Structure 1
Amino acid sequence: MTSEEMLGKTNRVNMLFDFYGSLLTDKQRTFLGFYFHDDYSLGEIAAEFDISRQAVYEHIKRAEQTLEDYETKLQLVAKHEQRKAVADRVEAIFAGDVAARQDELKELVRKLYNID
């Protein structure tokens, strides 16, 4: 996996963690926090909790899958990203000629209402 792919995965897990982290077990939250937020290695986490690296890896993988399962069911991150894209476009419109973009603004407002 390239460093760009790793960064993308880390950002994805952190976003999912922000939305669904409170639904994880304490151990899952702790391990994910150490691994993705604090950049601890599997070995460092294993030493901290006196367990094997494989056990840490399994806890992290299970927690990642749980976060993805929540996202599949609830789609909170996807809806957040849709709202952000619309808000970014509205900001861009206001940076230009607003009067010429009234129809686009109306369409963006309609999209915001239909995200959920």
Structure 2
Amino acid sequence: MLEKTNQVNLLFDFYAPLLKGKQCEYLELYYLDDLSLSEIAEMYEVSRQAVYDHIKRAEKQLNEYDGKLRLTRKHEQRQELVRKITDLVEATDESNMKEEMLTLLHQLSEMD
């Protein structure tokens, strides 16, 4: 379950603006704020089933967006390259150059 939660959170980070109102709200409350279906249903005065349906549709939509745009895959590839370059930079002996390169790598990794 934790793996699914992490995956949905990652997808949500990339594609949340593309979701419709209630889908986005329910998904955020369920996965990010860790509220139960019942708690969300009570807040919005709807059935638990309605909340569940919105969340499932939102998950499906996020996966469809990622299937087409592949932003999470590109993100993971960039992160892996940054890790490899960081390891190489840390292994270098040029201390003045090393600090500058590490700073630039940090800036690059923060762009996501």
Q: TM-score, normalised by structure 1?
A: 0.77
Matched residue of 1:29: which SS?
helix
Following superposition, the deviation at residue 97 of structure 1 comes to 4.0
Matched residue of 2:43: which SS?
helix
1:43-80, Cα deviation, whole Å (9 max, x unpaired): 00011111111111110000000000000000011001
1:73 aligns to 2:47 (yes or no): no
Following superposition, the deviation at residue 93 of structure 1 comes to 1.0
d(CA) in 1 for partners of 2:75 and 2:4? 18
d(CA) in 2 for partners of 1:39 and 1:20? 19
Specify which of 30, 35, 40 is matched with residue 25 of structure 2.
30
d(CA) in 2 for partners of 1:28 and 1:59? 5
Q: State percent identity of aligned pairs.
A: 51
- Corresponding residue for 1:94? 89
- Corresponding residue for 1:108? none
Unmatched runs of 5 consecutive residues or more in structure 1: 1-5, 99-116
Paired positions, count: 94
Unmatched runs of 5 consecutive residues or more in structure 2: 94-112
Q: CA-atom RMSD, angstroms? A: 1.4
- Corresponding residue for 2:52? 57
d(CA) in 2 for partners of 1:56 and 1:37? 15
Runs of at least 4 residues off by over 4 Å: none
- Corresponding residue for 1:9? 4
1:44 aligns to 2:39 (yes or no): yes
d(CA) in 1 for partners of 2:56 and 2:84? 36
What amino acid does structure 2 have at the position aligned with 1:58?
A: D
